Amino acid sequence: MKRLILVTGNFDVLHPGHIRLLKFARECGDHLVVAVTSDEQMEVKSRVKQQHRLEVVNSLECVDEAFISTTSPEQNILRLKPYAVVKGKEHETQLNQEQSVLDSYGGKLIFGSGEFETNSEQYSRHSQSLYEHYDFTQAQRYAQRHNITQTALHDILDHIQTLRVAVIGEIIVDEYVHGTAVGISQEDPTIVMTPEKNELFLGGAAITAGHIKSLGADEVTLISVLGDDDIQNYVKNNIDKYQLKYHLLSDVSRPTPLKTRYRAGSKTLLRVNKLRQHKISKQLQDEIYKYIENLVTNIDLLVYSDFNYGILPQDLVNKISTLCAKHKVTIVADSQTSSQVGDISRYKNTKLLTPTEKEVRVALNNSDDGLVILANKLCERANPENLVVTLAGEGVFIHIPDNKNNTWENDTLPAFNKNAIDPAGAGDCFLATSSLALCVGATPWHAFYLANLSSACQVSTLGNSPLKAQTLRHILDKSMRQQ
């Protein structure tokens, strides 16, 4: 006898968290049935009509059957008699009305949100309509939901040209060592490669600032701390190519961060990081603050590009943020957790936060909750106006809180580029573009559409190079024409 699993939900905007939950639910039994709440039954009306919500749920390989539900979850349980009802982990400590109905015949109530490491893209059975290696299929629906037009997006890019921006954070030099993998060592199971070419790129806060300037901002100032070494010389010899103003301090206690990637063909075999993570001295902190204090009346936007290598201690962040708030300077922040550990929630009251899902989970010490609840908890702690959780190849999850009404609005955008050459730097490009757009008054929906296009352009090339405004405009036109 098949074990029938029932899941009930709105699924107004299907995001990776939904897909992970449904995949988990399918693994709990033999036949997954999804009850999609009807338009009339929804407490908060959706931009997406019930038939489209049903079609999207039916497009998932893990869903065996789906229907529009016009009755209560308890009535559906009585009719279907499922082996188990599956709900998100966040419901475990709440009152669950389904429990008594399930108990009446021995059914189970299971809580889980799936594994966040899962790549949910592979569980969709949708067909792709590609323009070269871009897929704008979902862009059309997103644009329709939010009344986005080609003209409005170009107007935003025009207005960006008035902005004055400061970027503060770690400059990183990215080195790519290209070679040929010649085989496995006979002495031990190690890949042997022959290096053939080296390339260096300015990364970290430098590429964020570079994107901002290249996208059209009027004036961009980069503030950072370098080591006293040859890599520092490389930075100073090449930073002018980005057409930035800059204030670069020197710290003899640390090297200039260098990340070396060894690549064979299109694959990275190994990355070696040369850096230190201790906090900069109080003297350096004071110098940075004094510089920003003199600069603050001449900037519209301040970007924290934090790689958590010690340049942005909490006391310094607090002082800078207070100063910017006093002068009505827009603040956005990104705080990376990768090989290092950061805390995105320490950036309070910003216009925008753009963490990865892992960075949110690390900040909240939460590996259980689904994306919506996870995003809401981060907003309760950090109080950003807008939150975008970046999901690598799965795209982005957008969460816009409404604190006055104690609610929020969500949406999602898939990765437009299905053939990423190098994912490094996609997040920096997204942060740069969305920050500029929001600062000139764009709606979050317009800003994140542009930013997602920028990320798609960025991952199409190897290494970090500033994204040109004309490149973004070109792909923007293609995305709108394909609609």
Average pLDDT of span 19-27: 90
- Residue pair 179/260 in contact (Cβ under 8 Å)? The answer is no
pLDDT confidence tier of residue 341, bands split at 50, 70 and 90: confident
pLDDT confidence tier of residue 482, bands split at 50, 70 and 90: low
pLDDT confidence tier of residue 234, bands split at 50, 70 and 90: very high
The share of the chain scoring above pLDDT 90, in percent, equals 65
pLDDT confidence tier of residue 131, bands split at 50, 70 and 90: very low
For residue 107, what are the CA distances in angstroms to 30, 37, 162? 15, 22, 62
> What digits encode the pLDDT tens for the residues 404-435?
888 889 999 988 887 777 676 789 999 999 99
For residue 160, what are the CA distances in angstroms to 154, 170, 218? 10, 24, 8
pLDDT of 125 reads 45
Instruction: Say how far apart CA 415 and CA 135 lie, in whole Å.
Output: 8
pLDDT of 370 reads 87
| The pLDDT of residue 198 is above 70 | yes
DSSP letter (8 states) at residue 425: T
pTM exceeds 0.85? no
- CA angle 247/252/253 to nearest 5° reads 115
pLDDT of 4 reads 96
If phi > 0 it is left, if psi is from -120 to 50 it is alpha, else beta; for residue 234 that is alpha
Instruction: Say how far apart CA 437 and CA 454 lie, in whole Å.
Output: 12
Instruction: Say how far apart CA 89 and CA 111 lie, in whole Å.
Output: 5
Residue 201 dihedral angles phi and psi, to the nearest 5°? -135, 145
Instruction: Say how far apart CA 394 and CA 418 lie, in whole Å.
Output: 10
pLDDT confidence tier of residue 48, bands split at 50, 70 and 90: confident
| The pLDDT of residue 129 is above 60 | no
- State the pairing for strand pair 387-390/396-402: antiparallel
Closest among 155, 204, 217, 149 to 340, alpha carbons compared: 204
Average pLDDT of span 460-467: 79
pLDDT confidence tier of residue 127, bands split at 50, 70 and 90: very low
For residue 415, what are the CA distances in angstroms to 37, 60, 144, 152, 386? 27, 17, 18, 22, 19
- Residue pair 153/433 in contact (Cβ under 8 Å)? The answer is no
Average pLDDT of span 131-144: 78
pLDDT confidence tier of residue 14, bands split at 50, 70 and 90: confident
pLDDT of 205 reads 96
